[in-house]
Structure 1
Amino acid sequence: AVLPLATVTVREARQFSLPYVFEVISPQLTVTLQAESQAEMAMWIEVIQNATASSLGVAVRTTRLNSNSLVGTPWGQIRQTAGNECCSDCGAQNPSWASINLGAVVCLACAGVHRQMGVHISKVRSLELDTKEWSVPLIRLMATLGNSALNDIWLASLKESPLLGASATSSQREAHILRKYDGREFLSNDAAPQPPAMHVAALFDDVALLAASLAHRLDVDMAAPSEASSDISECRWTAEAASSHAGRTPLHIAAASGSETSLELLLQNL
């Protein structure tokens, strides 16, 4: 069943003998769920409460997480990278969601817009709740990129006030995020990587270059050239590289070269 968020409440179900049980209550029905731990239950309750508040236009609350509670968690590792302490789109503090194919860390409100765009543009995961989906390569990818580096790509043509602001309305948030990722309106054509940039990125595990190549829609299935690049900006594609990898896709090159972080980013964008 689909429950409208505006009509939903959530609470711990203390009447059950089982641990970590909570209820999602709507006028239509009540759904009883069980988490795997007290912390996971608390996070689910807060996420649902925040989503309901957001749908009603009420400011959402965020838990002030301490460093000890984050140790060993995906968020604890990813938040240390430059820019990840704030939402990539609106600048809100302590974002706890991520777009794993873009590499961006976002807040709950912006994550909702990312979901609306569809998984062909943005694959959204919770840094706090979807813990089983956070593999070591994926955590390494998110910790390597960082919101600061990503916005240097996605907002390169914006000179002033590149972020929305945490107080942005739902319509402002949606318009900005759609323009940024779907329309790709804020990319800089002057900084667009040229072939064989994606092959170079895969060969040298240059994740920032790979992210820029993906943002500018370079072909992930393009076969590597058989000659050294004459483009001075891609002088790393040498005759030796061409001889070893001619005809290969970036994914093949990343796998053959042991470029694990670039391989993960490519896999997330297939």
Structure 2
Amino acid sequence: MVPLMDDLRLCSVRKLDELDRRFCFEIFSVHTSCILQADSELSRHSWIEAMQSTINSAYRDSHLLDNWGQGPEVGALPSEGRNAFSDGRRVLEQSLRVPGNHLCCDCGRSDPRWASINLGITLCIECSGIHRGLGVHQSKVRSLTLDTWEPELLKLLCALGNDTVNHIYEAETEHSGMTKPTAESSR
């Protein structure tokens, strides 16, 4: 059996009402998406709640990786057992080494201190507030300096980064006539 998603910690789930089929919902990540259909509204609601709970549990229950594997070099990890990586200054330094992460992914303001952990981007305080308003099913916001960071989440932030994520999400903005917000844009 092939799993739908490689790692639930990178996923979100949402209700889909705009489709021709009833009771659909989507499980998605940066790399893939899967649309599923329940047999009733109650069943869809139960599935969505179960998926959100499972995704949140995957964050809570994740352990420090013994081997970071292949990918971008993110520096030395703490070696004090299987605890979360919580040194705010080191998290900030690691995340800002990634191309584009020295600016807010959304508005371009310099010196971001927040991140969306499921999108793998850094944000300024203003844009982090907007992301919080979207709900955790869209964007899970954490402080780069105040919150605890598990190594897996830091690895995601360093593997993706603002340049890569903007390249994906903003690929069609030029053709659609949409403009990217700036630091001076209103909320």
TM-score (norm 1): 0.35
Q: Which has the higher contact order (CA 8 A, sep 6+)?
A: 2
Compare the two structures and name the one with the higher strand fraction: 2
Compare the two structures and name the one with the higher helix fraction: 1
TM-score (norm 2): 0.50
Q: Over alpha carbons, which structure has the higher Rg? A: 1
